[in-house]
Structure 1
Amino acid sequence: MAFSAVAASQAVPLAAIAAAAVALVKGGPRQPEPLESINAPFKEVDFSDLPALRRYTARDGASLAWRAYLPQAGAPHACVVLIHGSSASSASLHPLARQFAATGYTACVPDIRGHGESGRKGTIACSTVCASASSIICRRSPMRSRPRSATNSRRSIRST
């Protein structure tokens, strides 16, 4: 009985080594194919007026990308920061940001780390989303020299 337990304990590491060898020979994990359900809605979007990417330096020194959508006329009502989803980039919010600008708001749309033009793919963490958003609000808002927290704001955005 003791012999079979020893043999079994050696078989598990050997199986793991064999599986790793097969994965290396076959090329390891591959980038998954894009999901049609995610990409399909953007096929009809006109990106011809997509604003050029701008850059800002995050607190840790990383160069991150963002887009600014400015109102056509007059002073902006307020500035909104739009954050894209986990499989997207700033370009995915183009239709929404364009609408904010058309109604008199400035829209700032960053490429969160590991997405779009902000760093290497896969280098993200939950805290970087908040850090990226706060960096763009505090450092690059085209409307303000000092940041104002949404919770301290006396002015609310109302739909008209």
Structure 2
Amino acid sequence: MNRYIQQLLEMLREAQRNRPSPRLMELPEDMEVLRDVIDLEVSLEEEHQTMESIFGVPHIYFPPEDRLTDQQVSLLKQSILELWRAFNYEADFRKGEFNERQQYTKLVEYWKQEVPVLRGTNGTWHMEMFDYEKYWDEEKMRYLSDEEINAKYNYDD
């Protein structure tokens, strides 16, 4: 399995190296301050794609976390996050909500999701990796903050 993981890590590094060049638009000088907004607007107007097609690494290549050692999970998770950052994507996890194996699984599951193709030079697309059901309070009819959840369920940091 180690050889397979090394090959997969190399594929992720290769995908990072093969990132398409940023789209550069010619703008009048007085509109230059709006470059980030225009880049984002153009990206959002284009057809969304799966991460699988954006990166060129099939989802099926990722082994389930229960077949991996802790070290392999950690290596793959870090490599996925580095690849995402190279393409201006960011995974947002709540502190302490998921362990490393669960985070890896969530990242791999997201591989099948359609996202905007960000080809600009600035800006980051954040993907929330939260368990919203855990934070919903039926009595208050709203989501609770981390502090409120910790107090309600006596969680320790």
Q: Where on the TM-score scale, by shorter chain, does this alignment land: which range?
A: under 0.3
Greater C-alpha Rg? 1
Q: Between Structure 1 and Structure 2, which shows a larger proportion of helix residues?
A: 2
Q: What is the TM-score with the length of structure 2 in the denominator?
A: 0.23
Output the TM-score relative to the length of structure 1.
Answer: 0.23
Which structure would you say has the larger RCO, counting Cα contacts within 8 Å and 6 or more residues apart? 2
